[in-house]
Amino acid sequence: MRRSVWNWLFLLSSFGLILMFLVTVTQDTLPEWIRYQAEYHRRLAQVTGDRSKAFTLPKVRQIYLPEMKRVDRCITCHMGVDNPKMADQPQPYRTHPDLGIPGFLVKHPFNEIGCTVCHHGQGPATTVEHAHGPVHHWEEPLLRKGLTVAACATCHQNTRELKGAERLVQARALFVEKGCIGCHNLHGKGMLVGPELAETFGKSVGDQFDFKYVKGPHTLINWVEEHFKDPQAVVPGYPKIGVPESAMPNYGLDDEEVELLTALTLSFYLEEESEHHPIPARYRVPGTPEPEPTYTSPVERGAAVFTKLGCVGCHGPQGRGGIRNMNMDLGEEVPALTYVSDGYSKEELKAIIRDGRYPARADRHGPSPPLWMPSWKEKLTEEELDALVEYLYSLHP
Amino acid sequence: MGKLSEIARTIRMSQVWRSIFRHTYQDTPRNRALMILSNVFLHLHPVKVRPASLRFRYTWGLGGLSFYLFLLLTVTGVFLMFYYRPTVEHAYWDMKDLRFVVPFGPLLRNMHRWAAHVMVLFVMFHMASVFYRSAYKPPREYNWVVGVVLLLITFLLSFTGYLLPWDQLAIWAVTVGTNMAAATPVLGAEGPFSLVTPENDARFILLGSKLVGQAGLLRFYVLHCVLLPLAFVILVSLHFWRVRKDEFSAVPLPPPEERAKGVRPEEWIKQHPEVAQQKVFTWPNLVSREFVAALAITAALTAWSLLAHAPLEELANPNKTPNPSKAPWYFVGLQELLVYFDPWIAGVVLPTLILVGLMAIPYLDKNPLGIGYYNFRDRKFATGIFTYGLVLWFVLIFVGYTMRGPGWELYMPWQKWDHFRPTSQVGLHNMPNALGALFLLAYAGVGFFLSRVVLKEFFKRLQLGPFGQAVVMVFVLAMFFVPVKIVLRNFFAVKYIFSLPAFNFNI
């Protein structure tokens, strides 16, 4: 290289370095959060009338919770969470609401449970983008308002009767109504036709979920919600090579129902102990077992068994059918049960329920139907089976 | 003004000043020599150098820049050590703190990461440039060997550092790398003819465990921050000392019109011995160039660090294996070979052969031509074989790094990964062992037939002797065995040529 080239290189590199050094110093001394703190102090001075409050030195604020392996720097910007005077201010300056439950904030002190235990998001981050997400490689972005209720289950095992967690109660009713347990496994209960529900939100975004057909952002929550709305659109399978579409029936859920079920599924995962984000035992609130219902007739008992086992998930409400099962004979639908008393004796019915049955394919070369009748003999007592068959016979109009 | 220069003069004449700086800064030949001689750091340079070694297109600044990057990495690394705790509990969160709350933390970490990548690249390129200008030939053979060891240490430094952020990228890349150690013949639990258990094999020595965990993190940390840098400093001092003693290899080139006529520098120097003696002062001619090159690379790395953050994936989770899990990029070429060979070949035998082969080059290459300038014409065999190896190495890295998706399936760089695509690795079969043994013998036989009969005259000119000739053929045959196996597997669906499953011995 000619001498002049070295000279130019020297000049450019030196100025470049000086410039970049200034840029770094600026980035470092004027981080994003500093203007939120300045604005907070300005508003605080306005609200309290104490002008001196407007001049406070900026600093990173954090709640450090070593027991839970968390450090939450959310309060670096959300400075007013514990200041009741800021109740009428806009976010991020506003006071944390008490959800209309007296004593809520007293029972959930910020300096002991932090922020991300309930709201998720990236606690250590100090920029809005990274703290709220979604960003790559942080799999717990900030939960939106409608889903935050799921986080109650992190500590509360008594969500059935918990004040403020009514949406989880609602969701659980929907869960029973749709018969999810008929296919899915949950904490060792239920069936193995579908995946274990408590694990859904513990899977990794990149590898265990196919986002090819997902329209929105590539987050777990969004995958689950789009799948609830239209399972076959998100998982169309590869019928050509024998991989069927999603087995999950399309129940035509509306947005509200989707949000409820997503929150519930998330709560199943959060109930589990996590190695990465442990919850101290003293934070846990034990639940009470569900009361055993009483029945007046075998048919009523059978109906309860029908609901308990989640038969409704595939055979429809009152066994009226109408649930799609790809490439199954009988018109690609799970059989309705309304007229079983015409075709089967009680013993034959019991045998099918006990041993299960695998549906025949409509197209011999197509994929195997994703839904099948599992064997229920482990899940049922003989007495329950009798009641269930009684109920099935009673369905005949 | 007069007052100020009076004060400056007093300071310069004081005993304190003169005890530190033993000569003035006046630009005299004596001072130019003293600048180098009286400075412990600068005197790793010779006082005078041949002008030919100053040409940028001779060295491309690669050796000096590699060392400068090592210094930069040491400085940023020491600062990082103030904020980093090598425990499973804290390591990842310390990365987050560096990113979000440590003053200049992102700059430190990004610089360290990007400089490490560039250093690995530059050290490899430095080796290539040294090869192409025959700078390893006598009297510099041993320094080439030291250089190969330094290359290995550079890889190990980068590899041990890869684990420290303790994210998914880190533990799985290191899992891939250290699992190869378990495939070592005899000394690895999963290798052929294994004599050890997973509790006392080569991998266990690396990780202090069968899996990447706390013990492995601590070992890698100590290796990364203490042992390997120490070894590097000792060997690089030796490396520089030898360069200083043997002089820079560059020789003066004949003027362009002479070169066009085909005059070799060797002949031209014999006719013009006075030119070979011409030298210029290292200060400022060489030192200033080194300084500017270092400044430029610092500026480039700073810009890179401002624009791109060093990767940090999810917290390490031994229960969640990403698919695919890839080794650090410079080892992905070897990982790519895992498709074609068992780990004991791809991860142990081939790397060993590469290192030993590189070290053997100066002792096998008896061609005296080309020292100190780029000469491809008179050393076609040497440059051909070396270039083939280099291209193979980087092609394998490219394929492994950009073209392998879930299940290590082949994807074009513009294709989207599909975790649910069925595998293409079906219908593979092994050659019957008798046929396979015959095939291997035939492959070796053809090689030796070539060298003894067909290329007899050619090999004679290499002046190797029968032993040297055999060694060269072993390395050449090993190098060409890689594409042979690639073709056999991809076009003839052959998994193993020769297989003894009872001993984990498969070729």
Helices (H), B403-464: 433-449, 456-461
The residues that bridge with B281 in the sheet, in sequence order, are B48
Counting residues of chain B whose pLDDT is more than 90, the rounded percentage is 57
What is the model's pLDDT at position B30? 93
**Is the pLDDT confidence value at A65 over 70?**
yes
ipTM: 0.87
Contact B101 A212 (CB under 8 A): no
Confidence of residue B450 (pLDDT cuts 50, 70, 90): confident
Distances (CA, A) of A301 to A13, A350, A385: 83, 16, 10
Same domain assignment for residues B232 and B157:
yes
Q: What is the pLDDT of residues B43-83, one digit of tens each?
A: 888 899 998 888 888 889 999 999 999 999 999 999 999 99
Find, among B148, B178, B138, the residue nearest to B371 by Cα.
B138
Contact A204 B320 (CB under 8 A): yes
The predicted model gives B249-256 an average pLDDT of 87
Is residue B175 a contact partner of residue B335, using CB atoms and an 8 Å limit?
no
What is the model's pLDDT at position B505? 85
CA atoms within 13 A on the CB side of B398: 8
* Structural domain for B384, as ranges: 50-388
Kindly tell me the sign of the dihedral angle through the C-alpha atoms of A89, A93, A99, A101: negative
Q: What is the pLDDT of residues A346-387, one digit of tens each?
A: 999 999 999 998 888 888 888 888 898 999 988 888 989 999
Residues of chain B contacting residue A70, judged by C-beta atoms under 8 Å apart: none
Nearest by CB to residue A207, choosing from B89, B107, B419, is B419
Contact B420 A238 (CB under 8 A): yes
Helix axes B62-81, B282-307, angle to 10 degrees: 50
Contact B314 A204 (CB under 8 A): yes
User: Residue B89: closest CA among chain A residues belongs to which residue?
Assistant: A69
Same domain assignment for residues B34 and B82:
no
Any idea of the CA torsion for A183, A186, A189, A193, to the nearest 10 degrees?
Answer: 20
Backbone angles phi, psi at B13, to 5 degrees: -90, -10
**Is the pLDDT confidence value at B344 over 80?**
yes
CA distance B349 to A309: 58
Confidence of residue A15 (pLDDT cuts 50, 70, 90): very high
CA distance B413 to B251: 44
Confidence of residue A199 (pLDDT cuts 50, 70, 90): confident
Nearest by CB to residue B299, choosing from A16, A203, A208, is A16
Is residue A298 a contact partner of residue A280, using CB atoms and an 8 Å limit?
no
Is residue B211 a contact partner of residue B374, using CB atoms and an 8 Å limit?
no
Fold for the domain defined by A154-272: Cytochrome Bc1 Complex; Chain D, domain 2 (1.10.760)
What is the model's pLDDT at position A1? 58
The predicted model gives A104-109 an average pLDDT of 91
Contact B57 A127 (CB under 8 A): no
CA atoms within 13 A on the CB side of B303: 13
Q: Name the helix (H) or strand (E) containing A396.
A: none
CA distance A366 to A239: 7
Q: In chain B, which residues touch A (CB < 8 A)?
A: 56-57, 89, 93, 96-97, 99-101, 103-104, 107, 167-168, 288-289, 291-292, 295-296, 298-299, 302-303, 306, 312-315, 317, 320-323, 406, 416, 418-420, 422
Full DSSP string of A302-329? HHHHHHHHTTHHHH-GGG----B-TTBH
Kindly tell me the sign of the dihedral angle through the C-alpha atoms of A285, A260, A96, A29: positive
What is the model's pLDDT at position B107? 95
Same domain assignment for residues B284 and B247:
yes
Confidence of residue B502 (pLDDT cuts 50, 70, 90): confident
With respect to residue B332, please indicate whether it lies within any of the assigned structural domains: yes
Report for A192-206, A224-238, A363-377, B63-77: range of highest mean pLDDT: B63-77
**Is the pLDDT confidence value at A94 over 90?**
yes
With respect to residue B465, please indicate whether it lies within any of the assigned structural domains: no
Contact A6 B323 (CB under 8 A): no
Residues of chain B contacting residue A12, judged by C-beta atoms under 8 Å apart: 296, 299
Residues of chain A contacting residue B419, judged by C-beta atoms under 8 Å apart: 207-208, 210
Q: In chain A, which residues touch B (CB < 8 A)?
A: 1, 6, 9-10, 12-14, 16-17, 20-21, 23-24, 28, 60, 69, 71, 73, 122, 124-127, 130, 137-139, 203-204, 206-208, 210, 212, 238, 241, 243, 276
Distance from CA of B87 to the nearest CA of A (A): 13
Task: Please compute Rg for chain A using Cα positions.
Answer: 28
Nearest by CB to residue B314, choosing from A13, A126, A137, is A137
Instruction: List the end-to-end C-alpha distance of chain B, in Å, as a whole number.
Output: 81
With respect to residue B394, please indicate whether it lies within any of the assigned structural domains: no
Helix, coil or strand: residue B427: coil
Same domain assignment for residues B74 and B25:
no
Nearest by CB to residue B296, choosing from A9, A73, A210, is A9
With respect to residue B489, please indicate whether it lies within any of the assigned structural domains: no
Confidence of residue B199 (pLDDT cuts 50, 70, 90): confident
The residues that bridge with A71 in the sheet, in sequence order, are A64
User: Residue B102: closest CA among chain A residues belongs to which residue?
Assistant: A28
Contact A210 B420 (CB under 8 A): yes
With respect to residue B460, please indicate whether it lies within any of the assigned structural domains: no
Residues of chain B contacting residue A1, judged by C-beta atoms under 8 Å apart: 56-57
Q: Which residue of A11, A18, A19, A20 is the best one to mutate when testing the B interface, meaning the one whose CB has the most B CBs within 10 A?
A: A20
Contact A1 B302 (CB under 8 A): no
Q: Which residue of B76, B85, B100, B326 is the best one to mutate when testing the A interface, meaning the one whose CB has the most A CBs within 10 A?
A: B100
Class of domain A298-394: mainly alpha
User: Residue A18: closest CA among chain B residues belongs to which residue?
Assistant: B299
CA atoms within 13 A on the CB side of A151: 21
Residues of chain B contacting residue A24, judged by C-beta atoms under 8 Å apart: 104, 107, 302, 306
Q: Which residue of A10, A60, A116 is the best one to mutate when testing the B interface, meaning the one whose CB has the most B CBs within 10 A?
A: A10
| Structural domain total, chain B | 2
**Is the pLDDT confidence value at A293 over 80?**
no
Residue that finishes a domain, picked among B341, B369, B388: B388
Contact A1 B56 (CB under 8 A): yes
Residues of chain A contacting residue B57, judged by C-beta atoms under 8 Å apart: 1
User: In the block, which residue shows the tokens 């060694």?
Assistant: B471
Same domain assignment for residues B124 and B266:
yes
Confidence of residue A397 (pLDDT cuts 50, 70, 90): confident
Find, among B119, B54, B73, B59, the residue nearest to B288 by Cα.
B54
Q: Name the helix (H) or strand (E) containing B134.
A: none
Is residue A367 a contact partner of residue A326, using CB atoms and an 8 Å limit?
yes
Distances (CA, A) of A338 to A134, A342, A347, A352: 47, 9, 17, 16
CA A82 to chain centre: 28
Residue ranges, comma separated, of all CATH 1.10.760.10 domains in chain A are 154-272, 298-394
User: Residue B314: closest CA among chain A residues belongs to which residue?
Assistant: A137
What is the model's pLDDT at position A5? 87
Full DSSP string of B278-335? --EEHHHHHHHHHHHHHHHHHHHHHHHHHH-PPP--SBP-TT---SS----HHHHHHH
Report for A266-270, A311-315, B19-23, B390-394: range of highest mean pLDDT: B390-394
Is residue B305 a contact partner of residue A23, using CB atoms and an 8 Å limit?
no
With respect to residue B382, please indicate whether it lies within any of the assigned structural domains: yes
Q: What is the pLDDT of residues B462-485, one digit of tens each?
A: 888 888 888 988 999 999 999 999
Nearest by CB to residue A125, choosing from B100, B317, B420, is B100
What is the model's pLDDT at position B360? 95
Distance from CA of B284 to the nearest CA of A (A): 12
Q: What is the pLDDT of residues B365-377, one digit of tens each?
A: 988 888 988 988 8
Peptide bond into A92 cis (omega under 30): yes
What is the model's pLDDT at position B1? 61
Contact A207 B97 (CB under 8 A): no
Confidence of residue A173 (pLDDT cuts 50, 70, 90): very high
Q: Which residue of B68, B83, B101, B291 is the best one to mutate when testing the A interface, meaning the one whose CB has the most A CBs within 10 A?
A: B101
Kindly tell me the sign of the dihedral angle through the C-alpha atoms of B340, B341, B343, B349: negative
Residues of chain B contacting residue A6, judged by C-beta atoms under 8 Å apart: 288-289, 292
Residues of chain A contacting residue B313, judged by C-beta atoms under 8 Å apart: 137
Residues of chain B contacting residue A127, judged by C-beta atoms under 8 Å apart: 100
Distance from CA of B473 to the nearest CA of A (A): 41
Helix, coil or strand: residue B194: coil
**Is the pLDDT confidence value at A34 over 90?**
yes
Same domain assignment for residues B12 and B104:
no
Residues of chain B contacting residue A138, judged by C-beta atoms under 8 Å apart: 314
Nearest by CB to residue B299, choosing from A13, A69, A206, is A13
Amino acid at B259: R
User: Residue A138: closest CA among chain B residues belongs to which residue?
Assistant: B314
The predicted model gives B129-157 an average pLDDT of 95
Distance from CA of A28 to the nearest CA of B (A): 6
Full DSSP string of A113-181? HTTHHHH-S-TT--SHHHHH---TT---PPPPGGGGGGGGGGTBS-TTT-TT-HHHHHHHHHHHHHTGG
Distance from CA of A111 to the nearest CA of B (A): 20
Distance from CA of A72 to the nearest CA of B (A): 12
Residues of chain B contacting residue A13, judged by C-beta atoms under 8 Å apart: 292, 295-296, 298-299
Residue that finishes a domain, picked among B353, B371, B388: B388
Same domain assignment for residues B96 and B228:
yes
Ramachandran category for residue B430: left, alpha or beta (phi over 0 → left; psi -120 to 50 → alpha):
beta
CA angle A215, A216, A217 (to 5 degrees): 130
Average pLDDT over chain A, rounded to whole? 89
Name the pTM for this structure: 0.90
What is the model's pLDDT at position A148? 94
Contact A13 B312 (CB under 8 A): no
User: In the block, which residue shows the tokens 């029968």?
Assistant: B466
Q: What is the pLDDT of residues A321-339, one digit of tens each?
A: 888 898 888 788 888 898 8
Counting residues of chain A whose pLDDT is more than 90, the rounded percentage is 47
The predicted model gives A176-182 an average pLDDT of 91
